[in-house]
């Protein structure tokens, strides 16, 4: 029997009208390696993104949860090593919230490490010639909020949880800003899933 993977991407936010994370997640095959995928598009809203993911995970009972988000300015696919207990938004989210200096979970620990094998994922993606590097900060915006909340919920359980930031698409990147073609991002996520 296949294992269950919940994989999430985000809606567009800020000035963008497209988000490479959902564009890539929605194009993945429904079955990859040992996993049967359930794909979920999340709002870029503090708290609400994680609630939506938790609701789906409660029904699904996934073996692993992999969240994907856009990281403007990065040229590589970046598995995130750590989630921190901080909301510190440099811009409003899609509901107009701009929390600053707040915890994601009051009384929660300062940080959690990813519980998916980040080094193995990065090596596998790089091994196929795709630019990929570990990242030690998922920021303090909605992506980190989602990642921290899920790690907190699934700490001590068998459900492994990780987050991968992906570069912008060529059509989003102005003035030679870093970007990666959609097909390459889709391929990288497929490799990451087989390395879970």
**Catalytic residue among 80, 132, 168, 179, which?**
80
Q: Nearest approach, Cβ of 87 to ligand PCA (angstroms)? A: 10
Contacting residues toward ligand PCA, per CB under 6 A? 10, 13, 19, 21, 44, 69-71, 139, 141-143
Annotated catalytic residue, options 23, 67, 132, 143: 143
Residue with the CB atom nearest ligand PCA in the bound state: 143
Does the active-site annotation cover 152? no
If you ran DSSP here, which 8-state letter would residue 140 be given?
S
Q: In whole angstroms, how close is the CB of 166 to ligand PCA at the nearest point? A: 8
Q: Closest separation between CB of residue 44 and ligand PCA, Å?
A: 5
Between CA 25 and CA 35, with CA 31 as vertex, the angle to 5 degrees is: 95
Is 143 assigned a catalytic role?
Answer: yes
The active-site residue, picked from 23, 132, 165, 179, is 165
Distance between CA 115 and CA 47 in Å, rounded? 21
Nearest to residue 167, comparing CAs of 151, 150, 186?
A: 186
Q: Among residues 4 and 27, whose Cβ is nearest to ligand PCA?
A: 27
Structure tokens at 68: 């994907």
Angle at 33 between CA 58 and CA 188, to 5 degrees: 90
Q: Give me Rg for the CA atoms of the chain.
A: 15
For the annotated catalytic residues, the residue numbers are: 80, 143, 165
């Amino acid at each position: 029997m296949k294992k269950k993977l919940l994989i999430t991407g985000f809606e567009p936010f800020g000035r963008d009208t497209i988000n490479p994370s959902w564009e890539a997640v929605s194009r993945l095959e429904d079955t990859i390696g040992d996993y049967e995928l359930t794909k979920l598009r999340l709002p870029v809203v503090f708290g609400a993104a994680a609630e939506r993911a938790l609701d789906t995970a409660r029904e699904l009972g996934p073996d692993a949860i992999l969240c994907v988000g856009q990281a403007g300015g990065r040229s590589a696919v970046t598995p995130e090593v750590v989630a921190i207990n901080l909301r510190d938004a440099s811009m409003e989210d899609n509901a107009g919230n701009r929390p600053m200096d707040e915890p994601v979970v009051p009384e929660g620990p300062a940080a959690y490490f990813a519980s998916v094998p980040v080094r193995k994922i990065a090596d596998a993606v790089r091994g196929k010639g795709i630019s990929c590097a570990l990242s030690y900060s998922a920021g303090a915006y909605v992506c980190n909020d989602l990642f921290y909340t899920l790690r907190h919920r699934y700490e001590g359980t068998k459900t492994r949880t990780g987050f991968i930031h992906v570069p912008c698409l060529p059509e989003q990147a102005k003035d030679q800003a870093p970007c990666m073609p959609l097909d390459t991002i889709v391929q990288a996520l497929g490799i990451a899933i087989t390395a879970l």
